[in-house]
Structures are given as structure tokens and as C-alpha cells.
Amino acid sequence: MDFQYFVAVTGPDQAILSKKPFPVRIVFDTPQKRSGVTDHIEEAIPLGGRQGTDLNIVVGFQQSPEVVDFYKKSPRRSA
């Protein structure tokens, strides 16, 4: 399956200073239920005059607009 994950840099106020998506392919061989992938990236992060200790790095899966819309309209599940 093809996925996109993102790496973002946020400031102390959680404003996104930089965000870049990365494609990754994860292969699921039948009948396995789990799979994984290791990826290596190198990014130059412009600090914009800020201290590195003031920034956060956030990594997550990038969802398509259709998936985001689906979850916005779905009732929340209770735990």
C-alpha cells in the first residue's frame, strides 16, 4: 500500500513553520496482518532566528481530503 507521512516543525505556539510530505510503500504479503518499513530522510530546518530548543518536530500520517472529511462527519466512537 502507498502512504504519505509528514514531518513538520512547529514553534512554541504550535504554529507550523515547515511541513513536508514523504511517500512510502508498505508491502503486506498474504496472509500477514502486519508490516513495516524503515525510511531515512535528511532535512535542513530553517530556524528563522529561533533557538532549536524552541521548536518541535511532529511526524504523522498525511490523510487525503476525503478521509479528513469522512472523520469530520462521523460520530465519535466512545471508548
pLDDT at 7: 92
Query: For the whole model, what pTM was predicted?
Result: 0.70
Cell of 19: 511541513
Does the pLDDT of residue 31 top 60, yes or no?
A: yes
Nine-digit cell string for 65? 481530503
Q: Which residue has the cell 509528514?
A: 6
Each domain of the chain, given as residue ranges in start order, spans 2-73
Phi, psi of 4 (to 5 degrees): -130, 135
pLDDT at 65 over 80: yes
DSSP letters spanning 33-44: S-----------
